[in-house]
Amino acid sequence: MSADVNIKTISAVYEAFARGDVAFIVDCVTDDVDWASDTASTAAPWYGVHHGTQGVVDFFQAFGSAMEVERFEPSSFAANDTEVHTIVRFAATRRANGKRSAMNLHHFFQFREGKICYYRGSEDSSLTDAVFRD
């Protein structure tokens, strides 16, 4: 696929995230997708590597049950025929304790045959760790 097509796919995935449409996101990944936040921390329930489409569902269920998103605004995209890099302005509040985080997220996607086969997201994990300290 072309860089433009890959950016359109990621834009559509972000729109699906905003409306809570995990099924759409799952349709955009390969059956053997490797999906993870790129951190050594275990503080957040969605951290860790998730494999396959059920792993993607588990990732989003863990995230959604823990956090209320207030801001999710992609601000830049860079792409080629097999990869997309994005920066997303992000803010959310932890449901359990009301602690808020705001940061830039960095997302890296790889594509195979028009679908996402690999994702790594990086963030200010020390801020996320603080949000999960009660």
CATH code, 23: 3.10.450.50
Tell me the whole-structure pTM to 2 decimals: 0.95
Provide mean pLDDT across the span 6-16. 98
- In this prediction, residues 97-113 reach a mean pLDDT of 97
Our measurement of the distance from residue 68's CA atom to the centroid of its chain's CA atoms, rounded to an integer in Å, reads 14
Q: What percentage of the chain has pLDDT greater than the value 70? A: 100
Domain that holds residue 28: 3-131
pLDDT digits (tens, 9 = 90+) for 21-76: 999 999 999 999 999 999 999 999 999 999 999 999 999 999 999 999 999 999 99
Considering its fold, how many domains does the chain have in total? 1
- Report residue 74: phi and psi, to 5°: -60, 130
pLDDT tops 90 at residue 1: no
Rg over alpha carbons for the chain, rounded to the nearest Å, is 14
Instruction: Calculate the average pLDDT of the chain.
Output: 97
pLDDT band at 86 (very low <50, low <70, confident <90, very high): very high
Residue 99 near residue 130 (C-beta atoms within 8 A) = yes
